[in-house]
Amino acid sequence: MPPEPRRALRRPRARRPRPRPSQGRAPAPANLACVGARHHAGGRFRAVLIALSTGREVGLALVAGTFIAFAFFSSLVIPRRRPEYPGRGLRWFVLTTLVLFFATLGAVEVFAKESEKPKAGEGAQKPGTTTQAQPAPPKGNPAAGKAVFAAQGCVTCHTFSAAGSTGTIGPNLDTVLQGKDAAFVRESIIDPNKQIAAGYQPNIMPQDFGQKLKPKQIDDLVAFLLKSP
């Protein structure tokens, strides 16, 4: 029997790998991160400039920023490309450094003096006013208060040059009333036992002046006691 013919062996077809979901896409640019970083840095720089509210702060920041940028490029950036830097330009390098250095010092001094100056409308004092508020004068009539002082028998108990009295039963009003205000004098008339002068006993002065005298009479008496002799 004749031999059977051999069948030709077929090579299996190589399967092409299916592209993964990540494949087939356009690769991201290599400098995308750099672009984002620059954009972020620029945004922060603008935020810093906006935060500087006054012109002197902006001017000081510009001068200082120029000096810092010059120092950065001179020490880190330019020497990488030109190892011999500054080389022949040493004179100009030193001159530029000195100019920026003294410009920064001058800017600090000038802007510091400007910050000490008061703004318009601040620190200006109106004519006729003082730095401390003056107490309001008593609203009573001193002449009428002198009559009340005599009518209530105060002249027999107190020494008071404005009334011409020399009594010694109560405190000397020429001394105990020095530096006192209207509120203290009014309280001493209405409630004399609240504050008793040194060396005197309570209940020496009548306790019913707040009921006996009218408010107008008390105002007049306070004005008289606070009036200079």
- Report the CATH number that the domain containing residue 184 is assigned in CATH: 1.10.760.10
Query: Any bridge partners for residue 160, and if so which?
Result: 165
132 part of a folded domain: no
- Closest C-alpha among 7, 115, 142, 6 to residue 60: 115
**pLDDT tens per residue, the chain (229 residues)?**
555 555 555 665 666 666 565 555 555 444 444 444 455 555 555 555 555 445 666 777 777 788 788 888 888 788 888 887 877 878 888 888 888 888 888 777 776 666 555 555 555 555 555 555 555 566 788 889 889 988 988 888 889 888 888 888 888 888 888 888 889 889 989 888 888 888 888 888 888 888 889 999 999 889 888 875 5
Residue 92 and residue 158 in one domain: no
Residue 166 and residue 98 in one domain: no
8 part of a folded domain: no
- Residue 51 CA to residue 221 CA, distance in Å, equals 61
135 part of a folded domain: no
Query: In angstroms, what CA-CA distances link 129 with 125, 133, 134, 174?
Result: 7, 8, 9, 29
173 part of a folded domain: yes
Instruction: Give residue 149's domain range.
Output: 142-226
85 part of a folded domain: yes
Residue 99 and residue 163 in one domain: no
Residue 199 and residue 146 in one domain: yes
3 part of a folded domain: no
Residue 112 and residue 151 in one domain: no
- Residue 152 CA to residue 149 CA, distance in Å, equals 6
pLDDT per residue over 148-206, tens digit each? Answer: 988 988 888 889 888 888 888 888 888 888 888 889 889 989 888 888 888 888 888 88
Give the predicted TM-score (pTM) of the model: 0.42
Torsion sign over Cα 184, 189, 195, 197 = positive
66 part of a folded domain: yes
- Residue 178 CA to residue 66 CA, distance in Å, equals 65
Query: How many structural domains are present in the chain?
Result: 2
Residue 54 and residue 105 in one domain: yes
